[in-house]
Amino acid sequence: MSNTERKEPVCEVYSIHDEAVEDVKKNMITREQAEKLAETFKVLGDPNRLKLINALARRELCVCDIAFVLGMSTSAVSHQLRILRSLRLVKYRKKGKQVYYTLDDEHILNLFKEGLEHIKHT
């Protein structure tokens, strides 16, 4: 890369800011937390799963409704729901012979909404 090409800005002098470093180190997530969060983001990296999350962000739906909305087979939807359920991103309830899914909690809804807002403004 030539000197005229753009480079990422970096400090021109090496200096550690002890207070800032200690604050961040004290509040750093654990390796286990980082791995679990990375796994969650990895699972959310699939467009079909994001569409599924989007549908469930609107309302509770049965597997058949989700399949129809997404244009997928019920077995494909069930597979995606199993993955999302394994990370506690969705939950279900049975009513007779039907199974209804919702987002597991408000955190998932907020994560989805924040991500969507972020990409709308880029």
Q: What is the DSSP string of 19-71?
A: HHHHHHHHTPPPHHHHHHHHHHHHHTT-HHHHHHHHHHHH--EEHHHHHHHHT
CATH number at residue 90: 1.10.10.10
Q: Residue 56: inside a domain, yes or no? A: yes
The range of the structural domain enclosing residue 90 comes to 19-120
Q: Residue 1: inside a domain, yes or no? A: no
**Number of structural domains in the chain:** 1
**Quick one: pLDDT at residue 5?**
64
Nearest-Å Rg of the Cα atoms of the chain is: 21
Q: Residue 4: inside a domain, yes or no? A: no
Q: Residue 63: inside a domain, yes or no? A: yes
Q: Residue 7: inside a domain, yes or no? A: no
Q: What is the mean pLDDT of each run of 10 residues along the chain (122 residues)?
A: 69 93 96 96 96 97 97 97 97 96 96 94 84
Helix (H) or strand (E) holding 92: strand 90-95
Q: Residue 6: inside a domain, yes or no? A: no
Q: Residue 93: inside a domain, yes or no? A: yes
How many whole angstroms separate alpha carbon 1 and alpha carbon 6? 9
